[in-house]
A and B are shown apart, each in its own frame.
Chain A
Amino acid sequence: GDSVTQMEGPVTLSEEAFLTINCTYTATGYPSLFWYVQYPGEGLQLLLKATKADDKGSNKGFEATYRKETTSFHLEKGSVQVSDSAVYFCALRSGGYQKVTFGTGTKLQVIP
């Protein structure tokens, strides 16, 4: 079956540091890939997505590139802010199915 593996957190960074959160996946067919963010006390929100190989999703300074050869979708940001502190979830959705497979989430804490 489909699966998503994320790096374990928590990740603690100083403000303006570079962020990478690793995500790899296994899936049948050609899934769409997503990053969701969950701020404290809230539900998940879509951060960015990519629907085919070599696509790059980007939003709010975050980027992730769909790498079919390494089955990866790593999340990056050049300069994090305190307001980026949240839990980040990598997810995939396979064509023809409504089921979304989520990773275990990575908590990011940014300190001033």
Chain B
Amino acid sequence: DTAVSQTPKYLVTQMGNDKSIKCEQNLGHDTMYWYKQDSKKFLKIMFSYNNKELIINETVPNRFSPKSPDKAHLNLHINSLELGDSAVYFCASSQGTGDSNQPQHFGDGTRLSIL
């Protein structure tokens, strides 16, 4: 039933490791996003895909690489994890290319902790 689902919910790993976070939406939306939320709750857009095509790529280290195998999935791979990568990562989706009325639907977040 879950509209936007992310896995894993928690991720604890060592500095220098490579990890992936997966996201799937069953809403039939054409646009998906990755956000990073820091400890002060500030939300920063990282990437957005529309119909599997990258449309937003904010200033993010190239250790972060998104992949969208199809419209319903947007995964995030992170290489060589650093302490500053510790945060909550949210996936979101929305419908409507060029339509600003549609809200975003968020997953529950992946809490990444780097040791």
Bound pair (A, B) = yes
Contacts of A43 in B (CB 8 A): 4, 90, 92, 106-109
Is there an interface contact between A105 and B41, defined as CB atoms closer than 8 Å? yes
Instruction: Tell me which of B41, B55, B101, B105 contacts A98 (CB under 8 A).
Output: B55
> Do B41 and A46 have beta carbons less than 8 Å apart?
no
Determine the chain B residues whose CB is within 8 A of the CB of A46 once the complex forms: 103-105
What residues of B have a CB within 8 angstroms of the CB of A49 in the complex?
A: 101, 103
Write the chain A residue with the least CB distance to B6. A43
Contacts of A36 on B, CB cut-off 8 Å? Answer: 103, 106
State which of A45, A87, A98 has its C-beta within 8 Å of the C-beta of B56: A98
B contacts with A, residue count (CB < 8 A): 28
Interface hits, B65-115 → A, CB 8 Å: 90, 92, 94, 97-109
B90 & A98 in contact (Cβ 8 Å cutoff): no
Q: Measured between alpha carbons, how far is A98 from B97 in the docked complex, in Å?
A: 7
B interface residues, Cβ below 8 angstroms from A: 4, 31, 33, 40-43, 45, 48, 50, 55-56, 90, 92, 94, 97-109
- Top 5 closest A-B pairs, CB basis? A43-B106, A95-B100, A46-B103, A105-B41, A44-B106
In addition to A49-B101, A49-B103, 14 A-B residue pairs with Cβ atoms within 8 Å of each other are A32-B100, A38-B41, A43-B90, A46-B103, A93-B100, A93-B102, A95-B99, A98-B50, A99-B45, A99-B48, A100-B94, A104-B40, A104-B41, A104-B42
